[in-house]
Structure 1
Amino acid sequence: MRVVTLGYQTWGHRTLSAVLGTEHEVVLAVTHPVSDHPYEQMWADSVEDLARDNGVPVHVATRADQDLIDAVRAAEPDVIVANNWRTWLPKEIYAAPTHGTLNIHDSLLPRYAGFSPILWALLNRESHVGVTVHRMDEGLDTGPIVAQQAVPVGPTSTTTDLVLATMDLIEPLVAASLADLAAGTIVERVQSPESMTYFHKRSDLESRIDFTSSAADIELLVRAQSDPYPNAHFTFRGQRVRVLSAHVSTGRFGGTPGRVTVPYEGGVAVVCGRSRTTPEPAIVFDTLRLADGATVSAADFFGTRGGYIDLV
């Protein structure tokens, strides 16, 4: 089959690599231009470089303008395979090939359609995350499912761990889906709208630690916002501090949420939870990152200073 790929960053790179490893011909690779946006500099393997190294024509576009529509039509694809194409695609593109467009999404659809699905799934304590191949239609991640595979979430998994694990699923899923499509054996499963869940892009607000949350919830937020993603953070005496590692205390602490207490279990314990009178496990900060980028132990940062972490 003649294949056009649309993709960006490492997800798009893995997808193009998968198609290049099959018997099918990549007739055009479409990608976005290099960006200085911090998120788009993460997982930044270049689709353009991979395509050019393999003699594949490249079209670089910010969005689906008329030039892109014309380029896709001129390539005469049998199928488009898309992964991490970051702007809306019109029907003139996704329905142009004989076999339409397969989109790869890093969640177990119909759950976690939309943005940051692995991070949201971890925060919601899902037992598994995964990757879905589905047909693209006019909705966002709503088309019939073609293939799907899950990976388990461990008790200490970070978002980074799970992103890397799901990236490893891309190539075999893409190769298998194209083989089924070419053989006419592909099986589609329509997504139930009632089962769909949608999540929005995360912002700095979602990364700020709420010390009225439980210690377990805060520790989970720290793992969910692992490097290279924006870390969970708080403000202490006017300084923004990011948390690289933390754990739930063995003992229980009472008092005001956000109160820095004592050195404990190799870190520094901070009171958290909703009750000021009933002792609960504290969050123990282990390793922090300061505004200048320096990484320090919580014990070194707080020293003998007590006080209250800013709650606003």
Structure 2
Amino acid sequence: MINRKTLAKNPKVMLAGSVNSSLVTLKRMIKHDLNVTGVLGLRPEYAKNVSGYQNLEEISVRNGLPYVGFKNINDAEVAAFIRRDPPDLLFVVGLSQMVQQEVLNIPAYGCIGFHPTCLPKGRGRGAVAWLILGKAEGAATFFLLDEGMDSGPILVQEPFAVTKEDYASDVIVKICAAIETALDRLFPLLKKGVAKFDPQNDELATYLGRRRPEDGYIDWNRSAEDIHTLIRASARPLPGAFTYVGGTKMVIERAAILENCNWIGVPGRIVMKDSSGTVVQAGQGHVLVQEFTGVREHELSVGTSLGIDFPHQFEIITKLLRTST
């Protein structure tokens, strides 16, 4: 069932955000000449751990839009900024913070959230990585925020496909393109004062758990396909898939599955090198490491083992414990 709401024509809108999708949304608002009465952006000093951070202040000032930076969307000064000229709709796009009810209640018609999966499937955190890992389908989805997790009725949804060659940065480009298409459909309706809300079917909902940087650790006993997928899902602007060379962390930025390799080795061990990269034995198949950071090329010689040598580490710890008693 679709619920239709009649808004004021050319309704007042605000945007709160912090990343690429936020910037794309703001640019589309400006292009469609929406009645933007304010922009709220995460301040740079609080964006250290925000992948794909974008400072919205410059474009706001350049276009004569009132701007305020914040640490937390629920701070009192943020609520005061929104209340000074309450919008009809507040778009919260590309912000991992949960918006509390006090802020949700300020806009006349509510807050509009964004999520890059085909809701109701794929609610939750870390969507870019989970999309590459094949745990959800991609879509630029704008929906009415409620007290649940990505559970409100949908205004517009524009699907996009994720391939087995896409890295995180490729998926972000696709997300931004889908956002543009979705908003080109939505904004002309909003300017006419029309909004259609399609309730989600909670029975179809799936949830994506939070991912942490340590989830990018490479287990070389996995198949080459699994390792390649993890590398793509963890790549920039995300923290990266990583292994160790001795005690030094090595982040693998780009790799490929090497077909028809006639070398056989121990998983995690370098079996050959050539001009195309470094070939590492996986549990099944081979991974061609093409781009990496953290170590130098000469440290990756044939026969070098990547990862944590647990038997060797256990032996060292055992010796240390014996000498200390």
In which range does the TM-score fall when normalised by the shorter chain? 0.7 to 0.9
Equivalent position to 1:108, from 115, 118, 125: 118
Aligned partners of 1:106 and 1:141: how far apart in 2? 10
Compute the displacement of 1:254 (Å).
4.9
Q: Does 1:61 align with 2:65?
A: no
Taking the TM superposition and a 5 Å limit, the aligned residue runs for 1:229-240 are 229-240=238-249
Residue type of the alignment partner of 2:282: C
Structure 1 segments of 4 or more deviating over 6 A?
none
Instruction: Report the equivalent of 2:6.
Output: none
Residue type of the alignment partner of 1:188: F
Instruction: Report the equivalent of 2:229.
Output: 220
Q: In the superposition, relative to structure 1, how do residues 143 and 236 fare at CA in structure 2: closer, same or farther (>3 Å)?
A: same
Compute the displacement of 1:142 (Å).
0.9
Partner of 2:117: helix, strand, or coil?
Answer: coil
8-17 or 230-239: bigger deviation: 8-17
8 Å CA contact 1:248–1:284 kept in 2: the answer is yes
Partner of 2:196: helix, strand, or coil?
Answer: coil
Equivalent position to 2:220, from 211, 214, 217: 211
Partner of 1:137: helix, strand, or coil?
Answer: coil
88-97 or 50-59: bigger deviation: 88-97
Query: What's the CA shift string for 1:250-290, capped at 9, x where partnerless?
Result: 236655422332337843332322xxxxxx31223233222
Compute the displacement of 1:105 (Å).
1.6
Instruction: Report the equivalent of 2:291.
Output: 287
Compute the displacement of 1:92 (Å).
2.5
Taking the TM superposition and a 5 Å limit, the aligned residue runs for 1:1-312 are 1-35=11-45, 37-40=47-50, 42-63=51-72, 64-124=74-134, 128-183=137-192, 185-251=194-260, 254=264, 256-263=266-273, 266-273=276-283, 280-291=284-295, 296=297, 300-307=298-305, 309-311=307-309
Q: In the superposition, relative to structure 1, how do residues 125 and 149 fare at CA in structure 2: closer, same or farther (>3 Å)?
A: same
Residue type of the alignment partner of 1:193: D
Compute the displacement of 1:308 (Å).
5.6
- TM-score of the superposition, structure 2-length normalised? 0.82
Aligned partners of 1:93 and 1:244: how far apart in 2? 39
Q: In the superposition, relative to structure 1, how do residues 308 and 79 fare at CA in structure 2: closer, same or farther (>3 Å)?
A: closer
8 Å CA contact 1:211–1:311 kept in 2: the answer is no
Aligned partners of 1:222 and 1:108: how far apart in 2? 23
Q: In the superposition, relative to structure 1, how do residues 217 and 24 fare at CA in structure 2: closer, same or farther (>3 Å)?
A: same
8 Å CA contact 2:250–2:292 kept in 1: the answer is yes
Work out the number of aligned pairs and report it. Answer: 298
8 Å CA contact 2:265–2:271 kept in 1: the answer is no
Among the aligned pairs, what percent are the same residue?
Answer: 21
Residue type of the alignment partner of 1:247: A
The one of the two structures with greater contact order (alpha-carbon pairs below 8 A, sep at least 6) is 2
Gaps of 5+ in 1: 274-279
Partner of 2:44: helix, strand, or coil?
Answer: coil
8 Å CA contact 1:208–1:234 kept in 2: the answer is yes
Partner of 1:17: helix, strand, or coil?
Answer: helix
Gaps of 5+ in 2: 1-10, 311-325
Aligned partners of 1:148 and 1:43: how far apart in 2? 22
- TM-score of the superposition, structure 1-length normalised? 0.85
Aligned partners of 2:46 and 2:83: how far apart in 1? 30
Q: In the superposition, relative to structure 1, how do residues 2 and 211 fare at CA in structure 2: closer, same or farther (>3 Å)?
A: same
